[in-house]
């Protein structure tokens, strides 16, 4: 059961990435999992799996989603129309104007009461209302009825640079394969790129050096006999200069 549960969370996270056009190689600040109070899964045991599968820096589990989403209510006109008649638009506007705390109270109690201008009280039940979750700025949401997953989609400069570094790493690894270089061969690399990518390489030089088995890395203004690699929206020219 836990494996199936983790798979559901990962799939929800991936669906958010796809919808938001965020590649898995782009690190994100965090993922929040909203659970109900009866949840018994030992989520701490799966923190590393979730972080690795979805490339997030932090995995949080909470019962409270108020930090991440706003709730809006609106009448289901098909169900509520005959009941509320001429008051239906007024009731709908009143529901849509409720604050988050009032929406939560409605969700917990399953009903709310609206006073008409003539002083009559109309009872609105949960069956007559549609509840919508609207993610706040910097977050995106996916749910499957059992769990709600919220991804931090805001990209800081550091996260963007790390994403570009990992894209560059992948592109050079593919280039190595294209050249049929032995997996354990240490190499020297020359690269030509714009100033933004130079900052990325400077910051993540150790990551590149470790994973690419580099003896040395030289940044050049121009490389005439190199391979042009696409890194995100950037172009980087690479030359491996000491392969057999």
Helices (H) and strands (E) in the chain, counts: 8, 12
What are the CA-CA distances from residue 47 to residues 40, 50, 178 (Å)? 15, 5, 36
How far apart are alpha carbons 210 and 203 in whole angstroms?
14
Q: So what's the pLDDT on residue 244?
A: 55
Which residues, listed in sequence order, are joined to residue 151 by a DSSP beta bridge? Answer: 31, 140
Residues 227, 169 within the same domain: yes
Beta-ladder partners of 190: 218, 239
Report the distance separating Cα 30 and Cα 56, nearest Å.
Answer: 5
Out of 155, 184, 200, a domain closes at: 155
CA distances for 65 relative to 71, 74, 130, 233, angstroms: 10, 20, 18, 34
Same domain assignment for residues 95 and 183 = no
- In the chain (244 residues long), the average pLDDT of successive 10-residue segments reads 81 96 95 88 92 97 87 88 89 90 85 88 90 90 90 96 96 94 91 96 94 92 91 94 66
pLDDT score, position 2: 65
Q: Can you name the residues that pair with 176 across neighbouring β-strands?
A: none
Residue 69: predicted pLDDT: 87
- Assess whether 38 and 150 both reside in one domain: yes
- Regarding whether 149 and 37 lie in a shared domain, the answer is yes
Burial code (b: 16+ CB inside 10 Å, e: under 16) for 2-29 equals eeeebeebbebbbebbeeeebeeebbbb
Quick one: which of 132, 126, 208 has its CA closest to 175? 208
Question: Whole domain around residue 79: which residue ranges?
Answer: 69-134
Domain harbouring 230, CATH code: 3.30.2320
- Going by their DSSP bridges, the two strands 111-115 and 121-125 should be labelled as antiparallel
- Tell me how many domains the chain contains: 3
Looking at the fold, whether 84 and 199 belong to one and the same domain comes out as: no
Here the CATH number for the domain that contains residue 92 is 3.30.720
CA atoms of 200 and 165, how far apart (whole Å): 6
Does residue 151 share a domain with residue 111?
Answer: no
pLDDT for res 14: 97
């Amino acid at each position: 059961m836990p494996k199936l549960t983790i798979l559901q969370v990962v799939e929800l996270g991936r669906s958010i990435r796809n919808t938001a056009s965020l590649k898995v190689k782009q690190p994100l600040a965090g993922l929040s999992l909203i659970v109900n109070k009866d949840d018994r899964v030992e989520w701490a045991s799966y923190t590393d799996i979730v972080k690795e599968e979805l490339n997030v820096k932090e995995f949080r589990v909470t019962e409270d989603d108020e930090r991440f989403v706003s709730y809006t209510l609106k009448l289901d006109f098909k169900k509520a129309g005959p009941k509320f008649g001429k008051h239906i638009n007024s009731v709908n506007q009143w529901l849509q104007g409720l604050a988050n705390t009032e929406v939560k109270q409605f969700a917990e109690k399953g009903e709310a009461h609206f006073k008409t201008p003539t002083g009559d009280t109309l009872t609105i039940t949960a069956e007559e209302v549609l509840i919508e979750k609207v993610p706040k700025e910097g977050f995106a949401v996916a749910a499957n009825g059992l769990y709600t997953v919220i991804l931090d989609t805001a990209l800081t400069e550091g996260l963007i640079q790390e994403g570009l570094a990992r894209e560059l790493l992948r592109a050079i690894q593919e280039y190595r394969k294209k050249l049929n270089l032995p997996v354990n061969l240490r190499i020297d690399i020359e690269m030509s790129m714009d100033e933004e990518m130079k900052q990325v390489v400077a910051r993540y030089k150790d990551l590149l050096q470790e994973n690419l088995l580099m003896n040395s890395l030289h940044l050049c203004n121009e490389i005439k006999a190199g391979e042009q690699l696409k890194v995100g929206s950037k172009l980087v020219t690479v030359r491996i200069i000491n392969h057999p």
